[in-house]
Structure 1
Amino acid sequence: MGTTPPTALLICEHCDTVYRRRALVRGDVALCVRCDAELERHHALSVNAMLALILTAFIVFVQANMWPIVTLGLSGQHNSTTLWGMIIAMWREQAQVISVLVAFTLFFFPLGKMLTLGWLLWFARRGRRAPGFVRLMVALHHFGPWTMSEVFVLGALVAIVKAHTYFDVVADPGIYAYAALTLLITIFAGVDLRQLWDEPLESPA
């Protein structure tokens, strides 16, 4: 008897039910009949499109960290700050724990996720499996909950509205860059990265 290749099977991550994979068209979502969990959805983005999206997000990320976020004015004096200026100010004001959390959730984790994805997709578009593929895919799974750019943007907008009562507040380009980055992250959040396991790659992990 012949054996079914692993790529022709789907296993539910929640109840371990095994299914035979079928081709999906745009808008299709495969659900587990046993626990109703999502098994797979149609992927509208190719590897090249995902790589272009990551490169765009990286450019916006650099701009968001270079440009000032907000300018505060009081009695004719104005002061603007970048993300790292805010982090350093919190550190100096004895809020080290918060400054470290902000640095990791708004800079290091998003940067690590983008660099890791870029590395994996660069090799995937060339028909190869990136060095350290398995470990990097596991790392991406853990990076996900710690990228909180959208929380920062919402918090910053609320703070700007409240601060406007006491200061002259001007939203600088950095906050708009973070808003664009949030949009890109939201788009990418809808992409099932598990499809990278199914790419026809040459070298083993």
Structure 2
Amino acid sequence: MQTGAVQWIICEHCDSLYEALPLSKGESAHCLRCAAVLGRSHRLSIEQLLALSIAAFVMFVFANVFPVISISMQGLHNEVTLWGSVQALAQGQITLIALVAGLAIILAPALQIALLFWVLFHAHRNEIAPGFKMCMRTLEHLRPWSMLEVCLLGILVAIVKLAGMLDVHAGVGLWAMAMLMVLIVLIAGKDIRRLWDELGVEPL
């Protein structure tokens, strides 16, 4: 929110109100009441964030095209991709879980990458992207639904448990998914909110 020339920050956890002050590189602001992070200095430029969003798209394609895990036993060999795992879940009696998995590991990350590229591409040109407010609010709602890290942890646990019984190998898709997870954390974090101020867009 803004009053005159003074900008204010509201803590998301305890609703404490603070005056926004410029931060130097490497600095962060914390709430005095609950110690939550109020803001961090901008570590990446708009150009760098845009480049990372393009890299995230490439990793997303790799993660969905190449197998995430391959299993071999007595001459039999099988590989599975992210989409293949969702399809496998959908063929049983747990279709609802397949829908949630598809949303969390495929649809939500894909929308995040597309929206991030859209707003950052226009911000790079010092323009406000068409539908900017809707895009930014959608990104906020998508953040809790993107669960690549949960999927990655589950696959790693499966690899460890199956390693004693089968010949299990991590595929290219798994490494791409790990890189994608890191890239989305870097791009889609709270730092992206700076676009509201840098582009001069009123939240309301």
Q: Provide the residue aligned with 1:46 in structure 2.
A: 45
1:200 positional shift: 3.6
Shift of 1:111: 0.4
Describe the SS at the equivalent of 1:155.
helix
1:93 corresponds in structure 2 to 92
CA distance in 1, matches of 2:91, 2:53: 34
Offset, 1:34: 5.2
Per-residue displacement from partner, 1:117-140 (whole Å, max 9, x unpaired)?
111111111111111111111111
RMSD: 2.3
Where 1:53 maps in the other structure, the secondary structure is helix
* Range moving further from structure 2, 126-135 or 104-113: 126-135
* Counterpart in the other structure of 1:58: 57
Shift of 1:113: 0.7
Q: Is 1:122 the counterpart of 2:112 in the alignment?
A: no
Q: Taking structure 1 as reference, are residues 36 and 84 closer, same or farther at Cα in structure 2, changes over 3 Å only?
A: closer
Letter in 2 for 1:10: W
Structure 1 SS opposite 2:100? helix
> Which residue is 1:15 aligned to?
15
* Superimposed CA distance per residue, residues 136-174 of structure 1 (whole angstroms, 9 cap, x where no aligned partner): 111111110111111111110110111122222122111
**Normalization by structure 2: what TM-score?**
0.88
CA distance, structure 1, for counterparts of residue 149 and residue 108 of structure 2: 13
Largest Rg, 1 or 2: 1
> Hey, what's the Cα distance between the residues in 2 that align with 1:118 and 1:78?
38
CA offsets 1:41-91 (integer angstroms, 9 cap, x no match): 210111111111111011001011000111111221111121111111111
Q: Any gaps of 5 or more consecutive residues in structure 1?
A: none
Cα deviations by residue, 1:12-52 (Å, 9 ceiling, x for unpaired): 14425241x33211121123445544332210111111111
* Structure-2 separation of matches of 1:50 and 1:189: 9
What's the secondary structure of 1:166's corresponding residue?
coil
Please show how residues 175-194 of structure 1 align to structure 2 within 5 Å: 175-188=174-187, 190-194=189-193
Matches of 2:106 and 2:47, distance apart in 1? 25
| Number of residue equivalences | 200
Q: Which runs of 5+ in 2 are unaligned?
A: none
* TM alignment of 1:154-169, pairs within 5 A: 154-169=153-168
User: In structure 1, what residue type is equivalent to 2:91?
Assistant: R
Partner in structure 1 of residue 172 of structure 2: 173
In structure 1, distance between residues paired with 2:105 and 2:144: 12
- Alpha carbons 1:65, 1:83 under 8 Å: kept: yes
The percentage of counterpart residues that share the same residue type is 39
